[in-house]
Chain A
Amino acid sequence: MKRFVVGLGALAFAALLIGALLEPLMANTPGGVDLRVAVAAHMTASGVDHPVTAVLLNFRGYDTLLEIAVLLLALIVILAIGIDPECDRPRAANPVLQAMARLAAPLMVVVAVYLLWAGAFRPGGAFQAGAVLAAAAVLLHLTGLLPSWQLPGLKLRWGLTAGFLIFLAVAAALIPQGALLQYPPAQAGKLILLIEAGLTVSLGLILAGLFLFLSRDPGDDA
């Protein structure tokens, strides 16, 4: 009975949303804004050639700055709660898997660097590159080549925070230009690459940390 009511409610909600979307959108709202035109018009001043990167790191870079803070915060919350880690991999490591992982990991690092570089002119960028780095760390961990992380040491804490701090420093350093994150068009490309390089490393560590801090190696059952 309860499931029926919940299902009916969800169905009605979905119907309401679909009904709203069936209305012609931009057309019947006089004066609606088309941001695609605005983005295209300012691409030359953005310092990069790909509109997604231009929006994420330049036009709406402030959103991205706060989103990096959210990701860092998520990791701090996990550390603060102190969830009991569980061992989620077999005791004996498979030598074939280990050999494959040893081959794959360096390749993944190269892919990450390429994705970072490609972000300037095609889909890619710091988030994708960081995710690949994190995947490499998780792969190494699951095949038993990389131990799980306990409480973060000073170096790891710097690594986790560095990308955010670089972004914050660049954003603040540009305030004399007129506003937060106001890149001078000539240097915009270089500054964005600097920010993204820092973010790639830190995001890789943060995303890997979300997995590795919650994991435990076989053997230390304490």
Chain B
Amino acid sequence: MIWLILLPLLWASLAFISGEGRGKWLAIGGLSGQTWLAFDLAQTVGAGGVAVEHLVGGWGAPLGIDLAADGLSAAMLVLTQCVALPLAVYAGAYYKRGEVAGAYFWPLAGFLIAGLNALFLSADLFNIYVTLELVGLAAVGLVAAGGGAQQVAAALRYLFATLLGSGLYLLGVALVYGGYGTVSISVLTPLVTSEAPRLMWIAGGLMLIGLMLKTALWPFHFWLPPAHGGAPAPVSALLSALVVKASFYLVLRLWIGPFAPLVAAAEWLAWGPAVLGTLAILWGSWQAIRAERLKMLIAYSTVAQLGYLFLIFPLLTGADAVQAGVMQAFAHGFAKAGLFVAAGVFIKATGQDTVAGLAGTVDRLPITLFAFGLSGMTLMGLPPSSGFLAKWLLIETALDRGYWWLVLVVLAGGLLAAVYVFRVLRQAFLQAPANTSLAAVPRTLEWTAFVLAAVSVLLGLRGVELMQLVGVMR
């Protein structure tokens, strides 16, 4: 499993050495290998029923750094590689030769994926901070790359938000180290009790706020729409599908890991993320319904969809809530990547990033529009998509605990998603004004959008394996 970290580091550096705009085949080759490794790891973890560990340097915690892959980590790794590989194929066709925006795409994307994989595998709080920096810096670079003043401004705002987030996290780690003398999760977890010193509460609060800022949970979402909506389509897809999930994964990992005794001592605490998640669903969907620009609509939809992830926190007394959360992460990951790459095709063809400009695209880009519709189906939660499965699990768990109002939120969110998805589809079916002409678009772009969208729907049929995998805990 260590190669899941080393391989992207290697191809990212080689892509940088080989020069501007080069590295496409290094990336696609590397990602193919990583996809195989991720599935292999998931197989090992799923079949063995125990977490796989790797003690870096052979020292073992607390002196050295441990890496550990349980079902949750393995599932997130599979998601990362499976979204990144089609996006690499897409980006290879998206950036024209010599385009400034794509000059450093491959090394930046490589370091981003290396950081994500390292984050999902790490079992050391300080090491996770380093991976957060790797992910955050690469993401900011991708947003800013070769863009105009507006894009750089969005990237700067993103940089401040992500630096503040990781700064708060680091402060929390420092407090934990001061209190317990270790940053290893496996050593720390048995030491923490519900009578933990006040310092541990402050540390937990700081880490939670920092990571919510990085996940763009309402009201910390202010940086997300300009950054995700303004970046080139492959970058928006990487950020919306994967990067925000990394900090969510970390919140979940800490919540059910070292901080579990504190959370159990104050049960009302779990309603904080759930209420913010509810507001995120309502506010994000409303903004998406009103958005003029197509990519802004999709970016606000991300704000809304991230809300569902935080609805699981009051339900975390059982393993089924984690399964619902991971299912939603998968559904949104594939569907949102599909939406952004489809939007990239529309923008390339019509030359404008507006919902109104889509009129008449149904005749010329049927595959892309179909992909957009399939992804939208997942967001709405129609069967048999993975979005349906995620919402189903969430509703079932909520009813099981007697929280019926969560059910109402989930259903309302699905209806609101239908409004903004159909707004786009309706526009695409309208007659185009007589004098419009659409530019030719490479076929690869259309088909990668279709593949991502199809996976988001068909995954609903293979959900059982995924849920079994997530059931294997550290």
Residues of A near any B CB (own CB < 8 A):
16-17, 19-21, 23, 25-26, 28-35, 38-39, 42, 58-63, 66-67, 69-70, 72-74, 76-77, 79-82, 151, 154, 157-158, 160-161, 164-165, 168, 171-172, 175, 177-183
Taking the closest CB of chain B, its distance from the CB of A131, in whole angstroms, is 19
Q: By the criterion CB–CB under 8 Å, are B181 and A33 in contact?
A: yes
Other contacts beyond A33-B187, A81-B146: 18, CB < 8 A: A32-B182, A35-B181, A59-B59, A63-B130, A69-B134, A70-B134, A73-B108, A73-B134, A74-B137, A77-B144, A79-B104, A80-B144, A82-B146, A158-B17, A160-B16, A161-B16, A179-B56, A182-B58
Cross-chain pair count, CB within 8 angstroms = 162
CB-defined interface of B92-104 with A at 8 Å, one 1/0 digit per residue? 0000000010011
Taking the closest CB of chain A, its distance from the CB of B281, in whole angstroms, is 29
6 of the cross-chain contacts (CB-CB < 8 Å) are A59-B57, A63-B130, A66-B118, A70-B133, A77-B137, A179-B56
One of B13, B57, B104, B199 near A165 (C-beta < 8 A): B13
A175 / chain B contacts, CB cutoff of 8 Å? 2
CB interface residues, B 78-117, toward A, < 8 Å: 100, 103-104, 107-108, 111, 114-115
Chain B's interface size range is: 35 or more
One of B19, B56, B175, B187 near A180 (C-beta < 8 A): B56
**B54 interface residue per 8 A CB criterion:** yes
One of B6, B16, B130, B199 near A172 (C-beta < 8 A): B6
**B366 interface residue per 8 A CB criterion:** no
Q: By the criterion CB–CB under 8 Å, are B9 and A168 in contact?
A: yes
Q: CA A77 – CA B58 in complex, angstroms? A: 34
A157 / chain B contacts, CB cutoff of 8 Å? 16-17, 19
Q: Which residue of A lies closest to B190 (CB)?
A: A31
Q: Which 7 A-B pairs have the closest CB atoms?
A: A77-B141, A80-B104, A182-B58, A33-B181, A80-B145, A33-B182, A20-B199
B462 / chain A contacts, CB cutoff of 8 Å? none
CB interface residues, B 102-152, toward A, < 8 Å: 103-104, 107-108, 111, 114-115, 118, 126-127, 130-131, 133-134, 137-138, 140-142, 144-146, 152
Q: CA A16 – CA B171 in complex, angstroms? A: 13
Q: CA A157 – CA B9 in complex, angstroms? A: 15
Q: By the criterion CB–CB under 8 Å, are A35 and B63 in contact?
A: yes
**B191 interface residue per 8 A CB criterion:** yes
One of A59, A81, A178 near B141 (C-beta < 8 A): A81
Q: Which residue of A lies closest to B156 (CB)?
A: A81
**B265 interface residue per 8 A CB criterion:** no
**B403 interface residue per 8 A CB criterion:** no
B331 / chain A contacts, CB cutoff of 8 Å? none
**B55 interface residue per 8 A CB criterion:** yes
Q: By the criterion CB–CB under 8 Å, are A164 and B13 in contact?
A: yes
Taking the closest CB of chain B, its distance from the CB of A194, in whole angstroms, is 16
Q: CA A179 – CA B55 in complex, angstroms? A: 6
A59 / chain B contacts, CB cutoff of 8 Å? 57, 59, 63-64
One of A42, A73, A177 near B138 (C-beta < 8 A): A73
One of A21, A73, A171, A180 near B54 (C-beta < 8 A): A180
Q: By the criterion CB–CB under 8 Å, are A69 and B9 in contact?
A: yes
CB-defined interface of B53-72 with A at 8 Å, one 1/0 digit per residue? 01111110011110000000
Residues of B near any A CB (own CB < 8 A):
2, 6, 9-10, 13, 16-17, 19-20, 54-59, 62-65, 100, 103-104, 107-108, 111, 114-115, 118, 126-127, 130-131, 133-134, 137-138, 140-142, 144-146, 152, 155, 175, 178-182, 187, 190-191, 196-199, 202
Taking the closest CB of chain B, its distance from the CB of A68, in whole angstroms, is 10
Q: By the criterion CB–CB under 8 Å, are A25 and B179 in contact?
A: yes
The main secondary structure of chain A at its interface with chain B is helix
Q: By the criterion CB–CB under 8 Å, are B9 and A62 in contact?
A: no
Taking the closest CB of chain B, its distance from the CB of A176, in whole angstroms, is 12
B202 / chain A contacts, CB cutoff of 8 Å? 16-17, 20
Q: By the criterion CB–CB under 8 Å, are A62 and B108 in contact?
A: no
Q: CA A1 – CA B146 in complex, angstroms? A: 39
Q: By the criterion CB–CB under 8 Å, are B191 and A31 in contact?
A: yes
One of B108, B118, B182 near A77 (C-beta < 8 A): B108
Taking the closest CB of chain B, its distance from the CB of A58, in whole angstroms, is 6
B13 / chain A contacts, CB cutoff of 8 Å? 72, 161, 164-165, 168
Taking the closest CB of chain A, its distance from the CB of B400, in whole angstroms, is 36
Q: By the criterion CB–CB under 8 Å, are B100 and A82 in contact?
A: yes
Q: CA A38 – CA B118 in complex, angstroms? A: 25
Q: CA A82 – CA B145 in complex, angstroms? A: 8
Q: Which residue of B lies closest to A55 (CB)?
A: B63
B64 / chain A contacts, CB cutoff of 8 Å? 59-60
Q: By the criterion CB–CB under 8 Å, are A69 and B58 in contact?
A: no
One of A34, A63, A74 near B126 (C-beta < 8 A): A63
* Contacts A29-B179, A182-B57; A154 near B17 (Cβ below 8 A): yes
Q: By the criterion CB–CB under 8 Å, are A42 and B59 in contact?
A: yes
Q: By the criterion CB–CB under 8 Å, are A62 and B137 in contact?
A: no
Q: CA A16 – CA B205 in complex, angstroms? A: 12
